[in-house]
Structure 1
Amino acid sequence: MGDNQNTMQFNVVKDKSDVTKAILTEVYNSLLEKGYNPVNQLVGYFISGDPTYITNYNGARAMVRKLERDEILEEVLKNYLEIK
């Protein structure tokens, strides 16, 4: 253990939001690089749950499957409505 006597604070909500954003950004970029329309592909995945809407390129499919679809949509909606 270190000499640090301060209590560290862990913010699950903020960290989850950051992880979701980072993963969606990576998936979006991978879809774009492969020539797909990222928005259409992600919407297809959100609605159907079928991971084949997401490319395997750069591990995008595995990354997006680490997140629950309802949690992704929650974060997207909060961002769209600018709710914190």
Structure 2
Amino acid sequence: MNENTMQFDMEKNKKDLTRTILMQVNESLMEKGYNPINQLVGYLISGDPSYITNYKGARTLIRKLERDDILDEVIKAYLLIK
């Protein structure tokens, strides 16, 4: 039995979820022959989920995330901010 207090990190959880979903959506787009970067940019700019394929539930997955949260995590990763 673990007697130490567990700590929940909401920011880390959100970051991990965002990364996992983006990787799954990327894989689905690639498998269907789309350019994932172009499709994701189109989605992020327009908010139109039809830029994301339904294949393997990718469209449903991407809609679980707020677009501004996706952009936040992508920019942090690009700038190497933790």
TM-score range (shorter-chain normalised) is over 0.9
What is the CA distance between 1:49 and its match in structure 2? Answer: 0.1
TM-score normalised according to structure 2 size: 0.97
What is the CA distance between 1:6 and its match in structure 2? Answer: 1.9
- Separation (CA, whole Å) in 1 of partners of 2:6 and 2:39: 39
* Structure 1 residue ranges (4+ consecutive) displaced by more than 6 angstroms after TM superposition: none
What is the CA distance between 1:5 and its match in structure 2? Answer: 2.7
- Separation (CA, whole Å) in 2 of partners of 1:59 and 1:38: 15
What percentage of residue pairs aligned between the two structures are identical?
A: 67
Larger radius of gyration between Structure 1 and Structure 2: 1
Cα deviation 1:56-81 (Å, max 9, x = unaligned): 00000000000000000000000000
- Separation (CA, whole Å) in 1 of partners of 2:2 and 2:12: 24
TM-score normalised according to structure 1 size: 0.94
Equivalent residue number for residue 72 of structure 2: 74
Describe how 1:1-80 pairs up with structure 2 within 5 A. 3-80=1-78
The residue type paired with residue 49 of structure 2 is: P
Q: CA RMSD in A?
A: 0.7
Aligned length: 82
The runs of 5 or more residues in structure 2 that have no matched partner are none
The runs of 5 or more residues in structure 1 that have no matched partner are none
